[in-house]
Amino acid sequence: MFEEANRLFQDQYEGKDYEPLSPFFYDVSSGKFSCFPVENAPRGQPYGANVLVYVNSRKQFFYGGSDGVWYLDIEKRKWHSVEPKGKPPEGIDHCAAYDPKRDCIYYYCRDAKSANENFFIYDVVSDTWKLPKPAGIGPISCSSYESIFNFDTVSDSLVVIRLYEGKDEPGLRRGVYAYSPATNSWADPLPLPEAVNKDIRNGNFGFFDPESNAYFCHFASDSSDDGVMWAYRYKRAQRD
C-alpha cells in the first residue's frame, strides 16, 4: 500500500516546484494543524542536527545546531539567518530548552565523550555558542528520543530526565540531572523509581507545565498503542 501511494505521490510531484513551508502549528481549541509558505527556509542535515525552540524575547522560533542558526518571523512569514560566534555543536539527535530569565538556550549533544563537551549554552542577545563547563556530575549524553529535557521555571533549573540505561557510572546512569544556572553546577543525580523504570520504552517524550509545577512524561513503544504517562515534580514551589 505504501509503495503504491508513494508512486502516485511522486507522479504528482514530478516537474513541479513547491513553496517551502513553515513548521506545523496545532490549534488546541480547533483541533487542527496548519502551516504556511515561508521565505528563506533553512537548509541542512535531517535527523535532528538542528532543534526548534520558541524564544520569548524575540517572539520568534529559533532553529539551530550543527548547520547554523535561523529565526522564523511568523508575522512576516520569513526566516532570517544569523552568524553565531563560538564553536557550534556537532552531530544529531540534540536536545534544547529555552531559559526566559537569562534569554538563552541550553543545548545538549549525544556523542561527545564528556558532559563538558556535550553541554552548550546559546546566548540569544549576542548570538554566541558557549561551553559553561559546570561543576558536579551532569549527563555525559542526552538525546531527543531518550531524554526529557526542559527548563523548570519554578525551580530555576534545567532538568534532564535520562531514561535509557547506560553503564553504571556517573553521567551514564538513568535518572534526574538538574543544572543550576545561578551556580553553574549540577546537583547530585536522583534515581528513578523502579515502577518508572519498568515502563520506559524505546520512544519517550515529556514536557514541563509551570502552572502545575510538574513534568508529564509519556513512554511508548514504536507502533504500539500501550503508552504510559507519569507525572513528576522536581521541587515544591516557594510560597511568598
Averaged pLDDT for residues 55-67:
95
Instruction: Check whether 174 has a pLDDT greater than 80.
Output: yes
pLDDT digits (tens, 9 = 90+) for 128-161: 999 999 999 999 888 888 899 999 999 999 999 9
Asked if 71 and 80 count as a contact pair (C-beta separation under 8 A), the reply is yes
Report the predicted TM-score, pTM, of the whole model to 2 decimal places: 0.89
pLDDT at 169: 74
Give the position of cell 546566548. Answer: 123
pLDDT at 239: 61
Burial of 112 (0-12, 13-18, 19+ CB in 10 A): middle
Q: Would you tell me which CATH number, out of the four given (2.40.50.1020, 2.120.10.80, 2.50.20.10, 3.40.50.1580), belongs to the domain 21-232?
A: 2.120.10.80
For 33-42, 44-53, 55-64, which range has the lowest pLDDT when averaged over its residues?
44-53
Helix, strand or coil for residue 31?
A: coil
Please state, rounded to an integer, the average pLDDT across all residues of the chain.
91
pLDDT at 10: 87
* Sheet of 203-209, strands arranged across: 203-209, 214-220, 228-232
Confidence of residue 123 (pLDDT cuts 50, 70, 90): very high
Confidence of residue 48 (pLDDT cuts 50, 70, 90): confident
Averaged pLDDT for residues 12-17:
84
Interior/surface letters 190-227, b for 16+ CB within 10 angstroms, e for the rest: eebeeebeebbbeebebebeeeebbbebbbbeeeeeee
Which residue type is seen at 178? A
Confidence of residue 9 (pLDDT cuts 50, 70, 90): confident
Spell out where 15-85 has E strands. 25-27, 32-34, 50-55, 60-65, 69-73, 78-82
Q: How many percent of the chain have pLDDT more than 70?
A: 98
pLDDT digits (tens, 9 = 90+) for 71-112: 999 999 999 999 999 999 998 989 999 999 999 999 999 887
Q: Structural domain boundaries of the chain? A: 21-232
